Amino acid sequence: MDPELRDAARDLLIRYGQGETERLFVSSKGTVVRDDEGREILDFTSGQMCATLGHSHPAIVKAIRESSEDAIHLFSGMIPEQVVRLAKKLGEWLPAPLKRSMFVNTGSESNEIALRMAKMITGGYEVIALGGSWHGVTGQSAAASFASERRGYGPKVPGVSVIPEPYSYRCPIRHCRDKCDMSCMKVGLDLFDMASEGAPAAVIAEPILSAGGVIVPPDGYFQTLQKEAKSRGMMLIFDEAQTAFGRIGEKFAATGLGVTPDIMSVSKTLGGGLPLAATITTDEIEEQAHSRGFSYYTSHVSDPLPAAAGLAVLETIEKENLLKRAKELGAHLRGSLDALQQRYEVIGEIRGQGLLLGIDLVKDRESREPHLDLGDLTTRRCMELGLSMNIKRRPERGAVWRIAPPLTVTVDELDRGTDILDQALRESLDELSRRAS
């Protein structure tokens, strides 16, 4: 540990929300990160949900090394071979007629491109997003995000409407309990139609609303949403930042749902830890956009080095059969968490797919009042015991742990993590009991 570096972190860095400077981190490998005191911490969030293959997977390290010897960065108008190789491999994965890709840095960017493209082609500017959604922190993507704090930053991009999310555990329209009948969508679309200026452009949605509490919409939801979008002349955009490339045991959520959007954005899980995102669409839509002068230049569009890493991610998922593995390990983890739920009344619901799971903490299962204090206390205790957990907490949305370990996590690591969670829950409940007495 270097006290001077800790002091510098405290004094020189801008705090951006959840950054902690009490400890610093020095290395990461597989499912383990190490802090500056030499402690090993099991990572149940894959970094920021990005380290698909675990930290510093040999295939990614090799791709970075080789690409750095050939090309790291080029002029935006020069298309590197690595980018084309990635586009070809991605094309083998995509559900038809999705085919064409554009590679940028972050999910925010890929959603900016998707919304920009939809607006240019439809001629409209009105966008519908779901409550609890997270699409990014820049311009249009931030305006369409409702799982994050929106106050204090001034006016958002105009034209965005929110419809209630299909969260039957805490129905936003106080209608359903445990089984969504899609009244939330009907009510939301009626309100949109009432307020619309007649300039519809796009509906953007995450197939699983991750930051909103790992909300899994009911069967048929996206078929209906696609139909409703089409009837209004709107494009359907899937934001698959967290559901693509094996996290839920499918190549894409769209594949499992049997719903192919007009435009798809992917990010986090593609780069394997490097900043890499893509906007994907069809030949027809790309041609329309191009013919109307579509332009999106950034300093790092089509960079070769992250593209090489993305190709390594896709090839490794295929080679190591990680789609099947995510389903199997997800079922094992779900079984362990179900056992915890039997022991702890405070675990109200467990939901998700594959290796993207959410645990909803409540004060009691009847009222479903979010147990915010328990979420905070247990998350801190998990870290002390050697487990990194991600808690999403808002009074109106609950206290929900998002669990998303790398696809390469072992059964032993999953069991060790749930054992730590068990201990942290037990000790945190005891601590809260002592405080109350």
Q: Is 181 annotated as catalytic?
A: no
Cis-peptide into 172, omega within 30 deg: no
Of the residues 247, 251, 351, 402, only one is catalytic, namely 402
Q: Is 93 annotated as catalytic?
A: no
Of the residues 206, 240, 303, 413, only one is catalytic, namely 206
Of the residues 109, 112, 116, 134, only one is catalytic, namely 134
- Bridge-based pairing state of the strands 347-353 and 263-266: unpaired
Longest dimension (CA), the chain: 70
Of the residues 242, 303, 349, 360, only one is catalytic, namely 242
Minimal CA–CA distance to 66: which of 307, 315, 270? 307
Q: Distance between CA 83 and CA 213 in Å, rounded?
A: 34
Q: Is 268 annotated as catalytic?
A: yes
Of the residues 116, 119, 268, 393, only one is catalytic, namely 268
Structure tokens belonging to residue 65: 């090394």
Q: Is 178 annotated as catalytic?
A: no
238 contacts 207 by C-beta, under 8 angstroms:
yes
Of the residues 109, 239, 240, 303, only one is catalytic, namely 239
Q: Is 206 annotated as catalytic?
A: yes
Quick one: how many helices (H) and strands (E) in the chain? Answer: 15, 15
Q: Is 341 annotated as catalytic?
A: no
Residue 342's contacts (CB-CB under 8 Å, 6 or more residues apart) are none
- Which residue numbers are catalytic? 134, 206, 239, 242, 268, 402
